[in-house]
Amino acid sequence: MFSLWLGAYDQGLAYAGLALGTYLTLRVLKFPDLTVDGSFALGGGTAAMLISRGTPVPWALGLAVLFGCLAGLVTGLIHTRLGVNDLFAGILTTTGLYSITLRLMGRSSIPLPETPAGIQVLPDLGLGLDGRWAVGLTLAMLGLILVISLLLATDVGLALRALGDNPAMARANGINQRRGLTMGIAAANGLVALTGALVALYQGFADVTLGIGSLILGLGMVIIGDSVLRPRSEPWALLAVGTPPLQAAMKVAPQTTPVIFCCCSNPWGAGAGTPPGGVGQHRPNVVGTIGTNPVGKELDLARQIDPELRTVGLIFNPGEPNSEYEAKVLKQEAAQKQVDAFVKIGDYATIQGFGSIAKVGLEKKIPVYSVDADDIATCPAAWPRSACPTSTTVMPQANWQCGCSRANLPPRGPSSPSPKPRCS
């Protein structure tokens, strides 16, 4: 009876990589990848063909992973470059992989009667060959879990997670959606192909139909894992400071958990309720304060500093409802035909990139106006105050502060330049 449970444990570990690959595409990237069935059989067939011809097992496993990554790469390119639907892209690839796998194997089935040398040297724990497989597969799966955890904690992993959670904001923050999605699909199918190779080694043969039903099996494992590992305790309340945290809270917070927000000028855009005059009902568990930047007054101040200012260019992050709302309000203040000044809407992306914005203003001799108090330190930190060519206007709450005044700008027309505004 124990041997039956031990065999089930070994087989479950052999298929664990399939769950990791399915999790990466469906949960992280939010991409329904149907390439799994084809890449699973491709990995098993590739490893079996190479091992039967005398290739060392590590090399066979590495080539199986490489071929699986290439299969995922094809799916990603079909979807991102050719514009094919995600489901159809996976169907096209997995259909073609059946013929490719059969061609690589040379026949429909390849037996692998010998146990790999790496398994034979492992301790059996008094359980025979199944014990050795249990030790080897446990170490392999722990290594894969560690690699995936480290990957998702790096900048690349955070970019992949951002692409799955909020593609618009990810693109606005400079993440290449095509490249990131293609890379993630390739990595996931590499894991699936490795799983196919391990399953072929464990069961002692590889078949061209080895991958049929792999997607359903992977989905089942992901669903069971989510149910078992889901946190049982709920927070008493969630505090969201800014729009992106509020958007995240709206996705995960149950209806019974209070959500408190601040520093958000467009909470209804983040899903916290309905706009004034809108149709719908406000969520009863959400409360907070709206902090809209006085963009209209900022534009008035820009005109006061430069009376000849007629049009402005907006710099904002379209992935944040705050930015879209404030940009809409600002567009109502003036018509735009050409860029005479940059007005920066306060959001996370433009705050972090204000140094680059000010640098463009320096090169193009274009004034820059901002609503963030911290931006005032960026200009004098980059250039001497006397040589700073941009105009950074800072307006915390309703107060106006003028900093980094406009200087060294060429006069407009034959008239002499007007004196620089004083900071009070």
List the chain domain ranges.
Answer: 2-229, 238-275+282-290, 295-403
Spatial distance between the Cα atoms of 36 and 253, rounded to a whole number of angstroms:
32
Specify the pLDDT at position 372. Answer: 61
Specify the pLDDT at position 182. Answer: 94
Here the tokens at position 241 are: 């400071």
Spatial distance between the Cα atoms of 76 and 309, rounded to a whole number of angstroms:
47
Asked if residue 30 lies in contact with residue 181, where contact means CB atoms within 8 angstroms, the answer is: no
Kindly provide the residue ranges of all beta strands, DSSP E only, lying in 104-199, ordered along the sequence.
109-111
Tell me the pLDDT of the chain averaged across its residues. 76
pTM for the full model? Answer: 0.65
Count CB-CB contacts under 10 A for residue 416.
7
Spatial distance between the Cα atoms of 203 and 92, rounded to a whole number of angstroms:
29
Class of domain 295-403: alpha beta
Here the tokens at position 64 are: 């199986």
Specify the pLDDT at position 75. Answer: 94
Spatial distance between the Cα atoms of 167 and 181, rounded to a whole number of angstroms:
10
239 DSSP assignment:
E
Specify the pLDDT at position 319. Answer: 63
User: Which neighbouring-strand residues pair with 392?
Assistant: 403
Specify the pLDDT at position 96. Answer: 92
Spatial distance between the Cα atoms of 201 and 18, rounded to a whole number of angstroms:
15
- Given CA atoms 410, 411, 417, 419 in this order, what sign does their dihedral have? negative
Residue ranges in the chain modelled with pLDDT below 50: 334-339, 380-424
Specify the pLDDT at position 389. Answer: 34
